[in-house]
Amino acid sequence: MNGMIYKADQHARENMGPLFKEMDSTIVLSYLQGHMGTGWVDNLENPTVAQITVGIFVFYAGNPHTKEVNELLLNLPDFTLAIVESDEWKEMIETVHQGAFEKFSRYRFEKDRKHIDREHIQNIMSELPEDYEIKNVDDEIVKKASFHDLSEDFISQFNSEDDFIQRGMGYAILHERRVVSAATSFSIYDDGIEIEVASDPDYRRKGLASIVSAALMLECLDQGKHPSWDGANQESVELAKKLGYVLKDSYDTYFIESKN
């Protein structure tokens, strides 16, 4: 072993904050603020390097040349989207995971509630086609196979379906009692949520993803929360722009398949 790594307790989590202060990610906040995810450090009292894992998202910060870095970089779920800020960190990932990663761009949007126009998203919601209904994700919908079939990540960061109903939020569009599109809080942080949206491939091009996202955004506005959007591809970017989000920048993301 190259060095010991420790699973962060609440005290260590508080000590990790400064290492991640440059990272613009609500998913990082969801861990640092104690809502979900796991942290790892080289030292519980005075960490110099740290890892945050929330689902498949893994973030690293601190000194990339600490002896514990190799171990942290191998401490991964089966499928990982790893995100780091500096070129030094990128070099470490590319060295440790040589031949086992794909590098691609994700897209960040400005986190400014001013960009979200209530009237505009209400107009989008009014485009719901006939024979379709939109509903809050409740005890009944959260158990439907058709809901989970659309995305494994609608509620995966919560401890259970009940936990999601308690702490999360979401909307679903149903057609003939089947969920064909939904948007939920992938993760939550003090001031908002990170949106997860997916539609049934057979129901694309009907505007359902924008309608169901608009419903979730409106709920966030009503609760004084920010509906944060992070795009995985160009399609997600176009959808975000349609809803009123303003693109901030793109950033490197590493898809890593675990060698375990």
Q: Residue 229 above 70 pLDDT?
A: yes
Residue in the structure block whose two tokens are 């057609």:
175
How far apart CA 193 and CA 228 sit, in angstroms, is 6
The CATH number that applies at residue 47 is: 3.40.630.110
Are 40 and 60 part of one and the same domain? yes
Asked if residue 143 and residue 50 are part of one domain, the reply reads no
- Answer yes or no: is 189 within a domain: yes
pLDDT at 96 over 60: yes
Together in a domain, 101 and 122: no
Q: What per-residue confidence (pLDDT) applies to 1?
A: 43
Say whether both 95 and 145 belong to one domain. Answer: no
Judge if 122 and 226 occupy the same domain: yes
Whether 238 and 143 map to the same domain: the answer is yes
Is the pTM for the entire model greater than 0.75? yes
**Domain check: are 229 and 175 in the same one?**
yes
pLDDT of residue 260: 55
The domain in which residue 149 lies consists of: 111-244
CATH number at residue 154: 3.40.630.30
93 and 162 belong to one structural domain: no
How many CB atoms are located within 10 Å of the residue 159 CB?
Answer: 11
Assess whether 162 and 56 both reside in one domain.
Answer: no
**35: pLDDT strictly greater than 70:** yes
- The residue type found at 245 is Y
Is residue 252 a part of any domain in this protein? no
Task: Show which of 108, 137, 153 is a domain's final residue.
Answer: 108
11 CB contacts (<8 Å, ≥6 apart)? 44
Mean pLDDT, range 123-143, rounded to an integer: 96
Query: Into how many domains does the chain fold?
Result: 2
Per-residue confidence band for 259, with pLDDT thresholds at 50, 70 and 90: low
Categorize the per-residue pLDDT at 228 as very low, low, confident or very high, splitting at 50, 70 and 90. very high
